[in-house]
């Protein structure tokens, strides 16, 4: 069966990002590959309709406006309107390398048993210093264990919705994304695995991902990530892993090191100094920027500390007190 790709891109108040993404799609190599682009405006006040009209002459782009119901619901809406049998789901803050669609087509041709897949994200040279520091913190082996963008396991890989693909068959069987956000993408992955669908990591189909533009927004995002994970562990007990507890262990050891430091025991405290020094050196060797390496210390600390404390908070309410998740953390759910 021939493959027809449908790009599904939800957007909320990001017309400039849509313009950059559509530009990268236009420039992309796509010889003999059929595709369409669906832009789903999720109740934005700053609409991307004019941007889409500009690109209609050059790209098979369709624009839809709907009331605000979250990115998961918007992706489902887009897939329900799509003509393709393979959906490529992207966030609006990514751009694509020239070989992206070719890499996807070749990957699916070689891996015909794969029902859904994900790719990595990378940083571009023109990204801001903070964006590069955030990218380093979220991809470095020293901060994440290398689990983002490096896992090649077919049986357990959990694609993220900034860069993932799913067959029309898998979407219809699973009914797509749920109402939680963030966390809607691993939730979908767990449900697809339970239904018997196979996933894979596509190493060549990476995107350039801008991520958050300042530390405050990054902190807010990381807190939500930490709150969501215990909820997903409740919904999908088989997904529980020891690695999810590591940022909380970081918090515990940090507090312990400060207490011991006050009592003249400095060993643990100096271990933390050594750890962040290694991060500083590693990032400096990569980017040759003193300012960026200082930001890496800040973003890495935020990532570990904020995630760890949020995880403990959520675990306490959801697993110990057994409070209903929508009651305790209503901000994580769309109606």
From 224, 223, 242, 232, select the one nearest 319 (Cα to Cα).
232
Higher-confidence position of 26 and 31: 26
Q: Identify which of 58, 61, 84, 57 has the alpha carbon closest to the alpha carbon of residue 11.
A: 61
pLDDT above 90 covers what percent of the chain? 81
Range of the domain at 240: 226-332
Residue 27 to residue 299: CA distance in whole angstroms: 33
In a domain, 93, yes or no: yes
Residues 25 and 78 both lie in one domain: yes
Domain holding 92: CATH number?
Answer: 3.90.550.10
235 and 103 in a common domain: no
Q: What is the DSSP string of 170-189?
A: HHHHHTS--SBSSSHHHHHH
Q: Cβ(287)–Cβ(132) under 8 Å?
A: yes
Asked if residues 60 and 37 have their Cβ atoms less than 8 Å apart, the reply is: yes
- What pLDDT, in 10s, does the model give residues 82-113? 999 999 999 999 999 999 999 999 999 999 99
Per-residue pLDDT averaged across 235-260, rounded? 92
Pair (257, 207) in one structural domain: no
- Per the domain annotation, does 140 fall within a domain? no
Per-residue pLDDT tens digits for 32-51: 899 999 999 999 999 999 99
Judge if 169 and 208 occupy the same domain. yes
Which tokens belong to 68? 């605000």
Q: Is residue 43 part of a domain?
A: yes
Total domains present in the chain: 2
- Residue 154 in any domain: the answer is no
In this structure, the answer to whether residues 177 and 79 fall within a common structural domain is yes
Model confidence at 148: pLDDT above 60: no
φ, ψ at 4 (rounded to 5°): -120, 120
Residue pair 293/283 in contact (Cβ under 8 Å)? The answer is yes
Whether 297 is in a domain gets the answer yes
Do 45 and 164 lie in one domain? The reply is yes
CA 127-78-60 angle, to 5 degrees, is 75
Q: Check whether residue 187 and residue 270 sit in a common domain.
A: no
Query: Could you tell me the pTM of the whole model?
Result: 0.90
Q: Say whether both 310 and 184 belong to one domain.
A: no
């Amino acid at each position: 069966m021939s493959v027809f790709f449908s790009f599904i891109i939800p957007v909320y108040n990001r017309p400039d990002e849509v313009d950059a993404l559509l530009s990268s799609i236009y420039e992309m190599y796509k010889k003999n590959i059929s595709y369409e682009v669906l832009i789903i405006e999720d109740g934005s006040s700053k609409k991307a309709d004019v941007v889409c009209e500009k690109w209609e002459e050059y790209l098979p782009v369709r624009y839809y406006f709907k009331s605000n119901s979250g990115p998961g619901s918007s992706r489902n809406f887009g897939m329900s309107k799509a003509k393709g049998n393979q959906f490529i789901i992207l966030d609006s803050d990514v751009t694509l390398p020239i070989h992206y669609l070719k890499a996807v087509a070749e990957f699916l041709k070689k891996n015909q048993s794969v029902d859904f897949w994900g790719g990595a994200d990378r940083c571009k040279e023109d990204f801001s210093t903070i964006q590069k520091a955030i990218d380093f913190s979220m991809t470095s082996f020293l901060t994440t264990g290398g689990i983002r963008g490096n896992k090649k396991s077919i049986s357990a890989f959990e694609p993220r919705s900034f860069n993932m693909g799913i067959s029309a068959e898998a979407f219809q069987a699973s009914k797509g994304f749920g109402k939680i956000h963030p966390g809607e993408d691993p939730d979908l992955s767990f449900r697809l695995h339970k239904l018997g669908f196979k996933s894979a990591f596509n190493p060549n189909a990476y995107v350039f991902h801008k991520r958050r533009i300042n530390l405050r927004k990054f902190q807010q995002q990381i807190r939500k990530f930490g709150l969501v994970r215990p909820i997903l562990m409740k919904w999908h007990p088989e997904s529980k892993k020891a690695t999810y507890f590591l940022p909380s262990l970081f918090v515990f050891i940090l507090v312990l090191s400060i207490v011991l430091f006050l009592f003249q025991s400095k060993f643990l405290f100096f271990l933390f100094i050594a750890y962040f020094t290694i991060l500083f050196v590693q990032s400096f060797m990569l980017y040759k920027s003193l300012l960026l390496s200082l930001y890496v210390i800040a973003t890495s600390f935020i990532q570990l500390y904020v995630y760890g404390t949020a995880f403990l908070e959520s675990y306490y309410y959801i697993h110990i007190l057994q409070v209903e998740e929508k009651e305790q953390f209503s901000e994580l759910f769309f109606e």
